[in-house]
Amino acid sequence: MTGFVSFVGSGPGDPELLTLKAVDRLKTADAVLFDDLSSGPILSHAGKGTDLVGVGKRAGRASPKQSHVSQLLVEYAQTGARVVRLKSGDGGMFGRLEEEILALREAGIPYEIIPGIPSACAAAAAAGIPLTRRMTARRVQFVTGHDVDGTLPNDANLVALADPMATTVVFMGKRTFPALLEKLIAHGLPRDTPALLAEAVSTPEQSLKRTTVSELAKELQAEFSPNPALILYGPLATDYDDG
C-alpha cells in the first residue's frame, strides 16, 4: 500500500491565515507531522482520530534529526495513510522541504505541495508596511541568518545584503545578526538603516519593534528572547506608525 503526503504551509501561526486547501487536507489526514510553530489552534482542524506527531526543530532545543523526520513520513505513507507534513509559514522557504521530498521520491511515494503565507509577508502586514516601493525599494530578498551548525553562513552575498535600496528579511537571525551587521557595514550599509524586529508574528505574543540596524544589534547582544522572529531592514522598515 502506498499513501500520499501533503506538504502544507500553515502560515505564520494565526489559524485564520490557513488556506482552504490546507484546512481540507488537515481534516482528511490520517496523520499530521507538525512543526512547533504549526501547533496549537491550527491542529484543531485535524480529525479526532488523527495521529498528531510533533517533529519541530527550534534553535537551542532538543529536536529530532532530519533523517528521522523524513523516515517517519515514508513509514506513515507506506501504510497507505494520508499524511500531512505541516510546516510553518511557507514550507518551501527555509523549511527543509527538499530533504523530505527526496526521501519520498526515493521511496516512490506521491506528494503535493500546498503553499502557505510566508512569515515575511505576515510580518510586513502586521507592521502596516509594504515590502517593495517604486524607486526606493525595488527589490526584496530573503536570507537565513542560521547555518546548519547555528552560526552565521559564511557564503552570504554581502554586497547584495548591504544594498540600502532593497528590503531584506533575515530568517532565524537573532543570534547572528550582530556579526552579520559588522560585515554589512564593512560593505557599505549605513548604520542608521531602518530595521524592524518582528517576533511571534500573528500570534497573541506578537511583538513589533522599530529601530535601526545598529541599535537592534546592540539590543540583541544585551537581551535575547526565545520567541521566533524575523528581522527586516531597508528603506521601508520604519516608515509607518504602529497605528
Q: Which residues are catalytic?
A: 35, 57, 172
Tell me which DSSP letter residue 112 carries. Answer: E
Across 49-203, the runs of DSSP E, i.e. the strands, are 51-54, 82-87, 111-114, 139-144, 166-171, 194-199
Give the Cα separation of 20 and 77 in Å (integer): 23
Give the Cα separation of 19 and 21 in Å (integer): 5
Q: Checking phi first, is residue 11 left (phi over 0); if not, alpha (psi -120 to 50) or beta?
A: left
Cβ count near 34 (within 10 Å): 24
Show the DSSP H helices in 108-232 as ranges.
119-127, 158-161, 177-186, 213-222
Residue 243's contacts (CB-CB under 8 Å, 6 or more residues apart) are: 128
Amino acid at site 211: T
Give the Cα separation of 127 and 53 in Å (integer): 33
